[in-house]
């Protein structure tokens, strides 16, 4: 098992960015629409969805995988009415080969968070062990 450290600048968080298990799968932590480079939280579900997916894209690439290898996602929304807006952005990141997905409406840890997404991806060629 290979454990990727948490997001740069957030080293004291009690979780890893991702874990590569058995050299075949990458399990990410949940990521929100927070921009780690600027510290900004964009307004609106579309902007937060895009930022969460960009954050996850970076984590997967750091692990040696990519969005095209994602097999399962879980999306947590704070408002059911944001489902269509989230889907519009999500489809841009997964235009054809779409992973399995569960979407839930939940309460997240901060009121300005509208979405959190976690992923399971394959490692290309079983790398990462």
Tens of pLDDT along 10-45?
555 555 666 667 778 999 999 999 988 888 999 999
Residue 129 above 50 pLDDT? no
What is the structure's pLDDT at 22? 72
Helix (H) or strand (E) holding 60: helix 45-63
Residue 1 above 60 pLDDT? no
Over residues 82-107, mean pLDDT: 95
Phi, psi (degrees; rounded to nearest 5) at 40: -85, 145
How high does pLDDT run on average in the chain? 87
Question: How far apart are alpha carbons 25 and 41 in whole angstroms?
Answer: 29
pLDDT classification of 84: cutoffs 50, 70, 90: very high
Percent of the chain with pLDDT over 70: 80
Q: How many CB atoms lie within 10 A of CB 52?
A: 27
What is the structure's pLDDT at 76? 98
pLDDT classification of 125: cutoffs 50, 70, 90: confident
């Amino acid at each position: 098992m290979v454990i990727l450290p948490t997001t740069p600048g957030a080293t004291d968080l009690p979780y890893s960015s991702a874990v590569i298990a058995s050299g075949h799968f990458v399990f990410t932590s949940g990521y929100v629409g927070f921009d780690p480079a600027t510290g900004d939280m964009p307004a609106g579900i579309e902007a937060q969805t895009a930022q969460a997916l960009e954050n996850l894209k970076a984590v997967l690439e750091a692990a040696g995988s990519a969005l095209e290898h994602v097999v399962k996602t879980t999306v947590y929304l704070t408002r059911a009415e944001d489902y269509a807006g989230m889907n519009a952005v999500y489809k841009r990141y997964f235009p054809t080969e779409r992973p399995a997905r569960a979407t839930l409406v939940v309460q997240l840890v901060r009121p300005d968070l509208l979405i959190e997404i976690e992923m399971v991806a394959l490692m290309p060629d079983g790398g990462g062990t």
